[in-house]
């Protein structure tokens, strides 16, 4: 009965179920919103709320017939996993990389990702992971935030050189940013760099009025 009441009330306002402190991301909240659990920071949704809808919009531009493995840099609560599995019927192995062990534990224990098949977690800095892995990936999603901000080192071209070095020749690349915290020249600069490397690039603007997503793919590919 209590659970039912909480679900009903959550349609009127978020209900905090638990707060968990992370040395990297600060206080994280597991909230009940519209009957579903979401993961929030003090400044933004981290997983399973608007962020899940934002990433879904970017994934709509991907031709999943070519996707045989997926790398997600910035795992958050892992809401991209059910999106890939249910909305796009993508059963390919997914590699989730996050520097924050607290976030990984939340994804596994509170959102059930320890029960998923073909799913591997890596606790690592994204740049270090790219520099040491020998794998190539058909889809790389870069969704790295500390609260509501992409750290500067993930805007630098040196990072993106590493990203495309691990992208397969027919691969897709998605980069999620928040409009109010990302430098105005960041995406145009990245677009110019990727164009110089023979990628086709489009920028999906003002998704949910808050985010921009850059989508890139090899010019030999056709966007879905």
What is the fold, at CATH topology level, of the domain defined by 45-218? Rossmann fold (3.40.50)
Beta bridge partners of 27: 21
Note the pLDDT tens digit of each residue in 145-197: 988 899 999 999 999 999 999 999 989 999 999 999 999 999 999 999 999 99
Domain boundaries, given as residue ranges, for the chain: 45-218
pTM of the model: 0.92
Q: Which residue has the tokens 């020249």?
A: 185
Q: What is the pLDDT of residue 165?
A: 96
Q: What is the DSSP string of 117-169?
A: SSEEEEES-HHHHHHH----EEEEEE---BTTB--GGGTSHHHHHHHHHTEEE
Question: In the chain, which ranges are continuous DSSP H helix?
Answer: 2-9, 50-59, 80-82, 101-110, 126-132, 157-165, 186-196
Q: What is the DSSP letter of 209?
A: T
Note the pLDDT tens digit of each residue in 23-55: 999 999 999 988 888 998 888 888 888 889 999
- Rounded Cα distance between 110 and 114, Å, is 9
CA distances for 170 relative to 91, 102, 138, 167, angstroms = 18, 34, 7, 8
């Amino acid at each position: 009965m209590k659970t039912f009441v909480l679900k009903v009330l959550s349609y009127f306002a978020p209900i905090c179920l638990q707060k968990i402190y992370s040395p990297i991301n600060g206080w994280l909240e597991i909230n009940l919103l519209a009957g579903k659990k979401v993961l929030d920071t003090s400044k933004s949704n981290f997983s399973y709320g608007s962020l899940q809808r934002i990433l879904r919009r970017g994934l709509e531009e991907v031709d999943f017939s070519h996707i045989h493995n997926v790398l997600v840099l910035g795992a958050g609560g892992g809401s991209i996993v059910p999106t890939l599995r249910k909305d796009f019927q993508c059963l390919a192995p997914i590699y989730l990389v996050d520097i924050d062990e607290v976030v990984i534990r939340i994804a596994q224990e509170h959102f059930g990702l320890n029960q998923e098949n073909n799913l591997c977690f890596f606790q690592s800095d994204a740049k270090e992971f790219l520099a040491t892995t020998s794998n190539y990936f058909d889809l790389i999603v870069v969704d790295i935030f500390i609260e509501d901000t992409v750290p500067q080192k993930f805007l630098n071209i040196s990072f993106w050189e590493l990203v495309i070095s691990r992208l397969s020749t027919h691969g897709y690349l998605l980069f999620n940013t928040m409009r109010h915290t990302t430098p105005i020249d960041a995406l145009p600069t990245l677009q110019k760099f990727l164009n110089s490397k023979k990628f086709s690039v489009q920028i999906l603007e003002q998704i949910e009025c808050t985010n921009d997503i850059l989508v890139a793919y090899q010019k030999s590919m056709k966007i879905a």
